[in-house]
């Protein structure tokens, strides 16, 4: 064979887990044929016997190796000249061998000479750029990244694409090999300059691939039911009250509620939390803050100072880290609630928008499994219907409902207005319907902007009996493809602390 025969090709390494149920010639040959049927250009086969078996079944190039565990050398891949010769005789077109700079039974030049004498090509399995430089000087035909990450230290997870790129500066004949587990990683190797790409475990080690999925599932399921989640101190600082809780997964082990001393300022709010939760010290490893207002890069600012007078850019994460001596994560409360609903509440695992309609209107967006931070989701602040004179929340939310009731001659909180509406009072019905129309219009616009799988509605107004139905009523003429799917929030007022606890537990 010529080197060009494997140019730009996928090489499938058919090396089943040693002594596993697939470690026999029949399976190895089966893997080899299946790989070729699906477009593999060449194969990498371990042991003289398997090379012989596969050679008799296929015509594509074979890279042959022999693996040995020696007592006097860490070299495992084709350590002896006799192995290299036997592979060539069994039908390997390329013989690969360990080319690391370690104690070894046979020198690289010796191996190269023996393989060349058999009229075959050589591949140096390298761990570093230095290995490749040495091997090329010894006259090898290909250098591979095969042994990067396997000569000491913990085994990495990702392939060594940087080494592919570095080797490419020495020679065009670079074979990317080792831990390439996805088509994207294979493409990255090509981009880095690989002449050909070897994929092994991800295709032919059923046990490994199964274990990857098994572990991911086990992790996801335990997080979901909160069994192995760590305990987090979650703090929700709102305009009137501050809630602190010890949260593990979705379970709230302990909880306290203190009024927010509105005039005292953020240092005092934090100190109050520290004081009131002093008895919980030692029970949590991390802290999550879900707060009203805007959080950007750990700094906290008021968006509506009427809700809470937070000074601009208050270093919340910094101060809290110093005060509590634990890692701190902070996010806007509605964004945190969006995450809580996504992960543990009404979420379906797909993109979601959360809208909380209460005194004001807040929200959060979860796209591709991540909550969007910063200003994202502050829907209450977009321009309202009356030519944008005031924000939408001032013309829709609980505050607005109270004001409208007063205009209609009734001194009533939002809850009372809802009660009157249910009893059929026309003035109350009109107010609720108007509010629901505006909320519905907002949802229709959100659908067109973000196309979420669902819009989760929460908050005292949003979850008031009949409100979501009223919103749906206003949307009934919207074409089905454009209509938002509205669902009721499930976690209630604790969505924020459950969400932020989970995010803080993940390290933010």
Ligand X SMILES: CC(=O)N[C@H](C=O)[C@@H](O)[C@H](O)[C@H](O)COP(=O)(O)O
Binding site for ligand X (CB under 6 A): 13, 15, 65, 77, 146-147, 150, 177-180, 198-202
**Separation between Cα atoms, residue 63 and residue 75, nearest integer Å:** 18
Burial code of 280-314, b = ≥16 C-beta within 10 A, e = fewer?
beeebebbbbbbbbbbeebbbebbbeebbebeeeb
Sorted by sequence, the CB contacts under 8 Å of residue 290 that are 6+ apart come out as: 234, 235, 236, 237, 330, 331, 332, 333, 336, 337, 496, 497, 499, 500
Nearer to ligand X among residue 200 and residue 377 (C-beta): 200
Nearer to ligand X among residue 25 and residue 151 (C-beta): 151
Contact between 128 and 170 (Cβ < 8 Å): no
Nearer to ligand X among residue 204 and residue 260 (C-beta): 204
For 303-379, where are the alpha helices, taking DSSP H only? 316-324, 333-344
- Selection from 240, 252, 245, 219 nearest residue 506 by Cα: 219
Beta carbon of residue 202, minimum distance to ligand X (angstroms, whole number): 6
Beta carbon of residue 206, minimum distance to ligand X (angstroms, whole number): 12
Q: How many CB atoms lie within 10 A of CB 319?
A: 17
Nearer to ligand X among residue 157 and residue 278 (C-beta): 157
Beta carbon of residue 160, minimum distance to ligand X (angstroms, whole number): 11
Nearer to ligand X among residue 208 and residue 312 (C-beta): 208
Nearer to ligand X among residue 53 and residue 432 (C-beta): 53
Beta carbon of residue 159, minimum distance to ligand X (angstroms, whole number): 8
**Separation between Cα atoms, residue 30 and residue 28, nearest integer Å:** 5
Edge-to-edge strand list for the sheet holding 286-291:
251-259, 241-248, 231-237, 286-291, 328-332
Contact between 125 and 94 (Cβ < 8 Å): no
* φ, ψ (nearest 5 deg) of residue 240: -115, -35
Longest Cα pair distance anywhere in the chain, in angstroms? 103
- Selection from 105, 133, 125 nearest residue 64 by Cα: 125
Nearer to ligand X among residue 66 and residue 421 (C-beta): 66
Beta carbon of residue 205, minimum distance to ligand X (angstroms, whole number): 6
Beta carbon of residue 144, minimum distance to ligand X (angstroms, whole number): 8
Beta carbon of residue 198, minimum distance to ligand X (angstroms, whole number): 5
How do beta strands 62-65 and 241-248 pair? Answer: unpaired
Nearer to ligand X among residue 146 and residue 292 (C-beta): 146
Beta carbon of residue 98, minimum distance to ligand X (angstroms, whole number): 9
Nearer to ligand X among residue 63 and residue 310 (C-beta): 63
Beta carbon of residue 351, minimum distance to ligand X (angstroms, whole number): 33
Residue nearest to ligand X (CB): 200
**Separation between Cα atoms, residue 218 and residue 213, nearest integer Å:** 8
Phi-psi region of 366 (alpha: psi -120 to 50; beta: other; left: phi over 0): beta
Nearer to ligand X among residue 65 and residue 287 (C-beta): 65
Beta carbon of residue 8, minimum distance to ligand X (angstroms, whole number): 18
* φ, ψ (nearest 5 deg) of residue 387: 55, 30
Burial code of 389-399, b = ≥16 C-beta within 10 A, e = fewer?
eebbbbbbbbb
User: Given CA atoms 176, 181, 182, 183 in this order, what sign does their dihedral have?
Assistant: positive
């Amino acid at each position: 064979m010529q080197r060009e025969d494997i140019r730009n090709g996928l090489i499938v390494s058919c090396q089943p887990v040693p002594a596993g149920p697939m470690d026999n010639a029949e399976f190895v040959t089966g893997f080899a044929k299946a790989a070729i049927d699906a477009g593999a250009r060449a194969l990498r086969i371990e042991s003289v016997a398997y090379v012989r078996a596969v050679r008799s079944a296929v015509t594509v190039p074979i890279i042959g190796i022999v693996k040995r565990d020696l007592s006097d050398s860490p070299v495992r891949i084709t350590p002896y000249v006799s192995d290299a010769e036997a592979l060539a005789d069994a039908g390997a077109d390329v013989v690969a061998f360990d080319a690391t700079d370690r104690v070894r039974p046979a020198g690289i030049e010796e191996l190269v000479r023996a393989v060349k004498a058999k009229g075959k090509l050589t591949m140096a399995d390298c761990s570093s750029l230095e290995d490749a430089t040495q091997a090329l000087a010894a006259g090898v035909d290909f250098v591979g990244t095969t042994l990067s990450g396997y000569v000491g230290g913990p085994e990495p997870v990702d392939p060594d694409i940087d080494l592919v790129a570095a080797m490419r500066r020495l020679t065009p004949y670079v074979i990317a090999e080792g831990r390439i587990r996805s088509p994207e990683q294979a493409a990255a190797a090509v981009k880095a300059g690989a002449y050909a790409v070897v994929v092994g475990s991800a295709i032919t080690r059923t046990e490994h691939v199964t274990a990857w999925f098994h572990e991911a599932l086990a992790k996801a399921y335990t997080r979901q039911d909160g069994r192995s989640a760590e305990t987090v101190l979650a703090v929700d600082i709102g305009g009137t009250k501050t809630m602190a809780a010890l949260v593990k997964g979705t379970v709230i082990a302990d909880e306290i509620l203190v009024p927010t001393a509105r005039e005292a300022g953020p240092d005092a709010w934090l100190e109050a939390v520290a004081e009131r939760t002093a008895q919980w010290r030692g029970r949590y490893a991390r802290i999550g803050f879900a707060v009203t207002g805007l959080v950007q890069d750990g700094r906290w600012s008021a968006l509506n100072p009427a809700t809470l007078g937070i000074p601009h850019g208050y270093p919340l994460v910094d101060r809290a880290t110093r005060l509590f001596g634990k890692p701190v994560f902070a996010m806007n409360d509605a964004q945190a609630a969006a995450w809580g609903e996504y992960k543990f509440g009404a979420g379906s695992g797909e993109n979601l928008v959360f809208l909380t309609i209460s005194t004001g209107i807040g929200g959060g967006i979860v796209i591709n499994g991540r909550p969007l931070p910063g200003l994202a989701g502050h829907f209450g602040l977009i321009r309202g219907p009356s030519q944008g004179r005031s924000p939408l929340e001032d013309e829709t939310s609980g505050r607005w409902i109270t004001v409208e009731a007063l205009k209609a001659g009734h001194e009533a909180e939002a809850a009372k207005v809802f009660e009157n509406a249910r009893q059929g009072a026309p003035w109350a019905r009109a107010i609720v319907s108007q509010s629901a129309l505006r909320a519905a219009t907002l949802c229709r616009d959100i659908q067109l902007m973000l196309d979420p799988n669902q819009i989760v509605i929460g908050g005292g107004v949003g979850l008031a009996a009949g409100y979501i139905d009223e919103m749906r009523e206003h949307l009934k003429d919207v074409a089905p493809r454009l209509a938002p799917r509205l669902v009721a929030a499930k976690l209630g007022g604790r969505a924020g602390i459950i969400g932020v606890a989970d995010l803080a537990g993940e390290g933010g």
